[in-house]
Chains A and B, each alone.
Chain A
Amino acid sequence: MLISLAAFAVALVAAYLLTPVVRDAAHGAGLHPSLGPVTMRQLLATWVVHDHNHLAQAHGALAAHYADEVGPWRALLGILDQVEP
Chain B
Amino acid sequence: MPFDLAQARAALERAPAVLDGLIAGLPDDWLAARTREGEWSAHQVVCHLAYVEETDWQVRARMIREVGEAEPFPPVDHGDQAARYAGFRTDGVARRFAAQRQANLAALDGLAIGDADLGLRGLHPSLGTVTMRQLLATWVVHDHNHLAQAHGALAAHYVDEVGPWRRLLGILDQVEP
Residues of A whose CB lies within 8 Å of any CB of B are 32, 35-36, 38-39, 41-42, 45-46, 48-50, 52-53, 55-56, 59-60, 62-63, 65-66, 69-73, 75-80
State the main secondary structure of chain A at its contact with B. helix
Q: What 3 pairs between A and B have smallest CB-CB spacing?
A: A69-B137, A45-B161, A71-B134
Once the chains are docked, how many angstroms separate the CA of A20 from the CA of B29? 26
Contact assessment for A56 and B151 in the assembled complex, using a CB-CB cutoff below 8 Å: yes
Residues of B whose CB lies within 8 Å of any CB of A are 1-3, 124, 127-128, 130-131, 133-134, 137-138, 140-142, 144-145, 147-148, 151-152, 154-155, 158, 161-165, 168-172
CB distance from B169 to the nearest CB of A (A): 5
Q: Provide a sorted-by-A list of 10 A–B residue pairs whose CB atoms are within 8 angstroms.
A: A32-B165, A41-B163, A42-B161, A42-B163, A42-B164, A46-B169, A53-B170, A59-B144, A69-B2, A71-B130
CB distance from B154 to the nearest CB of A (A): 6
Look across to chain B and name the residue whose beta carbon is closest to the beta carbon of A53: B171
Look across to chain A and name the residue whose beta carbon is closest to the beta carbon of B158: A45
Contact assessment for B148 and A59 in the assembled complex, using a CB-CB cutoff below 8 Å: yes
Contact assessment for A52 and B164 in the assembled complex, using a CB-CB cutoff below 8 Å: no
Report which residue of A41, A52, A79 has the largest number of chain B beta carbons within 10 angstroms of its beta carbon: A52
CB distance from A65 to the nearest CB of B (A): 5
* Chain A hits for B130, CB < 8 A: 71-73
Q: A35-B165, A56-B171 are in contact. Are A73 and B145 (CB under 8 A)?
A: no
Once the chains are docked, how many angstroms separate the CA of A52 from the CA of B33? 14
Contact assessment for B1 and A69 in the assembled complex, using a CB-CB cutoff below 8 Å: yes
Contact assessment for B134 and A69 in the assembled complex, using a CB-CB cutoff below 8 Å: yes
* Chain A hits for B162, CB < 8 A: 42, 45-46, 49
CB distance from B141 to the nearest CB of A (A): 5
Once the chains are docked, how many angstroms separate the CA of A53 from the CA of B130? 33
Once the chains are docked, how many angstroms separate the CA of A80 from the CA of B162? 28
The one of B133, B137, B152 in contact with A56, judged by C-beta atoms closer than 8 angstroms, is B152
* Chain B hits for A39, CB < 8 A: 163
CB distance from B134 to the nearest CB of A (A): 4
Additional A-B contact list (19), CB under 8 Å, known A42-B165, A59-B148: A35-B165, A41-B161, A45-B165, A49-B158, A53-B171, A56-B152, A59-B145, A63-B144, A66-B137, A70-B134, A71-B133, A71-B137, A71-B138, A72-B124, A73-B130, A76-B127, A78-B145, A79-B145, A80-B141
